[in-house]
């Protein structure tokens, strides 16, 4: 039976969310639009939406099998997945296994150095403020999440890292860092959003070359090729 796609509820930078006949479920549509540096840089990565949809499906299934609750219900087609409707906790959770990106820049650390145990950071989801780094005290001050919810989120983020690192290792990829978003569904905290080359840093184990959105951010070329290679290694 074809699923009825209702009104668009939300359009973000890389995805659109549509309502369905079921109040508790939405359709997540993956676009090819790419942005970086708080949307100051804009472009298109051809077929990115298809890659991110399929890679996210694979990783959500892996996490669910590992006991992590996610919003994933089923993949509907190349660019759409059915998900549980959540209220997003306005915090971006970044997990880091290797120094890169803003961590290297902010603290003057050398890119490529291993981080053990993994580092967890929180960013306040607010485009106008440029998603600032926040401490747990800031989160409490602004009441972005209850302390118990935050503790749950941290525990889930570390469990997700433990499941993902070996998965990518088996595919000759280093999971450098990644960003997660969580949401509330029927009183429960579950993983939401996507896990894809847009939201993770992957380095090829042998060449250490970026296989992710850094190729777009830094104009490294072969962007589409890198996304297709991730799809092949993850889902192929
Ligand atoms: N990230 C993301 N969305 C953001 C910011 C970061 O998905 O708005 C991801 C990014 O792809 C990387 C990780 O989070 O895998 C850490 O990013 P970082 O803080 O180093 O920021 P960046 O260097 O990407 O600006």
Domain(s) of CATH 3.30.200.20: residues in the chain: 8-84
Distance from the alpha carbon of residue 199 to the mean position of ligand 1, in angstroms: 6
Instruction: For domain 88-223, give the CATH number.
Output: 3.30.470.20
pTM listed for this prediction: 0.97
- Report which of 26, 2, 1, 4 is spatially closest to residue 15, judged by C-alpha positions: 26
Q: Which residues contact 128 (CB under 8 A, 6 or more apart)?
A: none
From residue 145, alpha-carbon distances to 82, 83, 131, 183 in Å are 26, 22, 16, 11
Cα first-last separation, the chain: 28
What residue ranges of the chain have pLDDT lower than 50?
none
From atom 21 of ligand 1, which residue's Cα is the shortest distance away?
102
For the record, the structure tokens of 88 come out as: 């997003």
Q: Report pLDDT for 1.
A: 54
Architecture of domain 8-84: 2-Layer Sandwich (3.30)
Q: pLDDT tens for residues 159-172?
A: 999 999 999 999 99
Distance from the alpha carbon of residue 96 to the mean position of ligand 1, in angstroms: 10
A 10 A CB-CB count for 8 gives: 12
For the record, the structure tokens of 210 come out as: 């970026």
Domain(s) of CATH 3.30.470.20: residues in the chain: 88-223
């Amino acid at each position: 039976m074809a699923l009825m796609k209702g009104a668009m509820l939300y359009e973000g930078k890389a995805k659109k969310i549509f309502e369905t006949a079921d109040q508790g479920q939405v359709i997540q549509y993956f676009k090819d639009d790419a942005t970086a540096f708080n949307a100051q840089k804009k472009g298109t990565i051809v077929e990115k939406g298809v890659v991110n949809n399929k890679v996210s499906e694979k990783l959500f299934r892996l996490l669910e099998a590992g006991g992590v609750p996610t919003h994933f219900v089923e993949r509907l087609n190349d660019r759409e997945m059915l998900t549980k409707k959540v209220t997003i906790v306005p915090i971006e959770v970044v997990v880091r296994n290797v120094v890169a990106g803003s961590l290297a820049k902010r603290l003057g650390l050398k890119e490529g150095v291993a981080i053990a145990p993994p580092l967890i950071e929180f960013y306040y989801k607010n485009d106008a403020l440029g998603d600032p780094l926040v401490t747990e005290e800031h989160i409490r001050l602004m009441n972005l999440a209850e302390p118990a919810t935050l503790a749950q989120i941290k525990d889930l983020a570390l469990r997700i890292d433990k499941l993902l690192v070996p998965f990518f290792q088996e595919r000759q990829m280093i999971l450098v860092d990644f960003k997660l978003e969580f949401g509330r569904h029927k009183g429960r905290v579950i993983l939401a959003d996507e896990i894809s080359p847009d939201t993770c840093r992957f380095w090829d184990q042998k060449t250490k070359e970026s296989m992710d959105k850094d190729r777009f951010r830094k104009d490294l070329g072969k962007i589409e090729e890198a996304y297709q290679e991730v799809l092949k290694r993850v889902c192929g």
